[in-house]
Structure 1
Amino acid sequence: MTDYRSEYPFGVRHDGPEPASAGAEPGSSPPRATGTLESGLPLDAFDARLFREQSETVVAKLEKHLSDVSIRGLDLTDPAALADAARALMTTERTRIAPFDERKLAGIVDLYIRTGIQVHSPGYMGRQFSGVVPLSGVIDFVSSVVNQPSSFYEAAQLPSVAERIMAEELNAFIGWERDGFAMVTTSGGSLANLTALLAARNQAFPGFWSEGGSGLAGQPRPAVAVGDDVHYSVARAAGVMGIGDAQIVRLPLNERHQICVERARGVLDAAARRGLKVFCLVASSGTTAMGAFDPLDELGDLARERGLWLHVDGAHGASLLVSDELRHKLRGIEKADSLTWDAHKMLFTPAPCTLLFYRNKENSLGAFRQRASYVFDEEPDIYTALDSGEKNFECTKRPMIMPLWTLWAVYGRALFARKIEYLCRLTADAHRILVRESDFETLHCPEANILCFRFRPAGLGDEDVHDVQVEIRNRIKSEGNFLISKVDVDEVAALRVVMMNHQVTSEHFRMLLGEIRRVGRDLLRQNRPSR
């Protein structure tokens, strides 16, 4: 049989120098190829040697970016001005294919870096997505070039195997039976939550997938029970599934902003009296607002007692499982039926990379019930056993597991555990600093790396507290040194920091408080608390 791999690529009319030999000096830059492909496309657009030059240009700029540890927040640019800058980098050619221009590439990368959130800066304390471990970005770059969509083994062999390996590695911290559970990757926690709720609904209402809501005539209406601080994606998923807001049962919280199990029983009873059949209870491990961890052990017992599917939205906080120090925050996780876990948050990989776990692997096939001859094989074998297309919404998806698996393979669990532990200690230190500041109000004792507080000096009336926090946040953002976020706590705005960057120290937090105090006092001097 002819080994076509050894021959020169088909369809190329090559006018330039021959490809570099296998013994070429590493790092050398042979002349670029010129000419065209038989398709008429320019050879240099697809040339491996030019690709290397382009990569080196980009890598040099990213190296400079990663080396910059200055304090900087968000440089918000007027959208019209940014559009003008972007258009200025575009070719004016309209009929011919423009030649490659390295200056345009450099300008595009510079503009991309400069206008983004500076996730690697000590000034970044605003959101739950993180600066990545640089190696994970390198592997994501590889994924973009080799382009192996990973829902089916034949298209992405190593990613499919890596997904299975990471499932086993991480399940060791969840505690389900090794041969009984399943995991699938999805593009984001919102999609994972939707997928899990679909599996739960289809189990409770087997005819819903084929007959829709019309098949429920005379039956109680399907409903989902959630903590009052649940992420908005859960309510959005319920809407997508045809479950209206009136059928979302909101469970009361305790003083720690966790689901109050005892009061939840009465709310569930009241829902049943209204003709609702709650089929799923959604708990949070690390709420978005305040980072609270619902009591999974007790909620697991409640779900079992009521015959409910327990889904845990651990998009933010599930990563604490890899830490011996912090794992207790998710005590009882083994009682859950499904778990959403974002690696692009506290496992520091490029977004999106979400892991959706099921305690019972049979349930992983329950969300979608379809046949498609062009992708689903009729005769399963050792290869199709690793397909995930039947378990996830996406047919084509990125091999998002590769950055995570590579980091785990190269550095091991300890890299993640140490960084998570540092960020949680840093947040606890920030809380202790706040407690000693008389013009600030602490709102909770942080459970992980999210901290909410208010600037509340003497003389600031209750009626102005909300607007002052909003205006402080806006001015801090516009000044461009720090990026923090805002959240309403008990319907009053609060300032919120999320510690995601190991470059941040307690001293940086003190500097942030100084900025907040300066801006807040300036607002009060101007007698302008309102927006």
Structure 2
Amino acid sequence: MERFVLAKLGSMFGLEKADGIFAPGGSISNLHAMLLARYKLHPESKQSGIFTLKPLVAFTSDQSHYSIKKAAVTMGLGLDNVVQVKTDSLGRMIPQELKKAVKRVRDEGKEPFFVCATCGSTVLGAYDPLKELADVCNQEGLWLHADACVGGSAIFSDKLKHYLYGIQRADSIAWNPHKMLCVPLQCSVFLTRHQGLLDACHSTRASYLFQQDKFYDVGYDVGDKNFQCGRKVDVFKLYFILSVHGLDEIARRIEAAFDAAAYLSEQVALRPGFRQVIPAAQCANTCFWFVPESLRGQEETPGWWEKLGKVAPRVKTRMVQSGTLMVGYQPIENKNLVNFFRMTNTCVPVPTSADMDFVLDEIERLGKDL
């Protein structure tokens, strides 16, 4: 079953004859990518370690998931060797900035080896320009990984898969069905275009577990091609949901989540007291501020922004206490480090415009006296 599902997903993402595995989550899938990138560049490191190598450097956007940093720590590369590349006003990695960063690292005597492109960033829902990043990686000889844990579900929809244009050129892909598809935790897919590399990187040929003289095809024994031993049968959850609902229904639900986010963004722009963080929703995320009446019509000084940053945490506290809503909030560096709301839609239940109206009505109700 795992072979069948991974082959189908590989074909959907454009990775013909893809290899892959199910992982405990996106963080582990991203770690798999970085491990494979290092092994492909320096296969000798499996036996002799990394002690004689130049410092290896990974590149990711300044909006990417923290797991890239954690993977670098786990692999002994260190946080100093993770370069966060500048993004544009929508949170997308700028290819020219990546080229500059790679050159700077080479000039420092270090060795670039890995680029993580984000497809649906955690906060803004940004999709990095995969085609342009693939061009840079091809020119520089770098492994391109697509962290599509959040936004990879767009691949099911003919209407939305343009967001992932260029993903077929990635060396590896991470996608989490337990996010937008709401497959029960845990269910994370890792795919790579490089057949046999997972096995070559991870296997230790423990003969007391992975005997090679069985009567059936030992290729079905996938346990040795990752760094776990026992694993849950996570593939069954995804297979079951896709089989029961069908790909057309899954596409409809994903489109509804994107449409709801776009509707919410439009309403934020129209309603007094609400303000967009970016001009339109990306992926299924909508980011916005709620400005209480006490702060409206004032000069937006640093002190004003500081006060606004306290609104979302207080409204969230009231949400939890009243039990009517759960919407996250956070600051990000290129948005004044001021807390704003992040509404993220998923496919279950299928979100509607009425649901989005309720979100804004409830935030306004809970925060009107602040």
In the other structure, the counterpart of 1:453 is 288
Q: 1:230 is matched by which residue type in structure 2?
A: S
Q: Does 1:504 align with 2:338?
A: no
Which of the residues 301, 316, 339 maps onto 1:493?
339
Q: Does 1:519 align with 2:362?
A: no
Task: Tell me if structure 1 keeps the 8 A contact 2:122–2:150.
Answer: yes
Give CA-to-partner distance per residue, 1:229-251, whole Å, 9 cap, x none: 11111110110000111100111
Which of the residues 128, 142, 163 maps onto 2:2?
163
Task: Tell me if structure 1 keeps the 8 A contact 2:116–2:146.
Answer: yes
In the other structure, the counterpart of 2:95 is 261
Q: Does 1 or 2 have the higher relative contact order (CA < 8 Å, sep 6+)?
A: 1
Q: 1:480 is matched by which residue type in structure 2?
A: G
Deviation larger for 463-472 or 234-243 = 463-472
Q: 1:165 is matched by which residue type in structure 2?
A: F
Deviation larger for 341-350 or 478-487 = 341-350
Give CA-to-partner distance per residue, 1:412-463, whole Å, 9 cap, x none: 2112111101111111111111110131110121122111110135137122
- Map 1:138-177 onto structure 2 (within 5 A): 162-177=1-16
Could you tell me the TM-score, scaled by structure 2's length?
Answer: 0.92
Task: Tell me if structure 2 keeps the 8 A contact 1:286–1:317.
Answer: yes
Q: 1:453 is matched by which residue type in structure 2?
A: F
Task: Tell me if structure 1 keeps the 8 A contact 2:180–2:345.
Answer: no
Which of the residues 39, 50, 72 maps onto 1:213?
50
Distance apart, 1:511 and its partner CA: 2.3
CA–CA distance in structure 2, aligned partners of residues 374 and 347 of structure 1: 38
RMSD: 1.7
CA–CA distance in structure 2, aligned partners of residues 279 and 312 of structure 1: 14
Deviation larger for 256-265 or 504-513 = 504-513
CA–CA distance in structure 1, aligned partners of residues 227 and 286 of structure 2: 34
Q: 2:284 is matched by which residue type in structure 1?
A: N
- Map 1:389-428 onto structure 2 (within 5 A): 389-428=223-262
Could you tell me the TM-score, scaled by structure 1's length?
Answer: 0.65
Distance apart, 1:508 and its partner CA: 2.6
Q: Does 1:190 align with 2:33?
A: no
Query: Percent identity over the alignment?
Result: 29
CA–CA distance in structure 2, aligned partners of residues 329 and 424 of structure 1: 12
In the other structure, the counterpart of 1:65 is none
Which of the residues 306, 320, 324 maps onto 1:481?
324
Larger radius of gyration: 1
In the other structure, the counterpart of 1:464 is 307
Q: 1:306 is matched by which residue type in structure 2?
A: E
Unaligned 5+ runs, structure 2: none
In the other structure, the counterpart of 1:147 is none
Which SS does the other structure have where 1:225 is aligned?
strand
Unaligned 5+ runs, structure 1: 1-161, 524-531
CA–CA distance in structure 2, aligned partners of residues 274 and 456 of structure 1: 46
Distance apart, 1:285 and its partner CA: 0.7
Which of the residues 275, 278, 292 maps onto 2:126?
292
CA–CA distance in structure 2, aligned partners of residues 191 and 286 of structure 1: 18
Distance apart, 1:503 and its partner CA: 4.5
In the other structure, the counterpart of 1:199 is 36
CA–CA distance in structure 2, aligned partners of residues 299 and 167 of structure 1: 25
Which SS does the other structure have where 1:278 is aligned?
strand
Give CA-to-partner distance per residue, 1:335-380, whole Å, 9 cap, x none: 0000001111123311111111011112222431412111122347
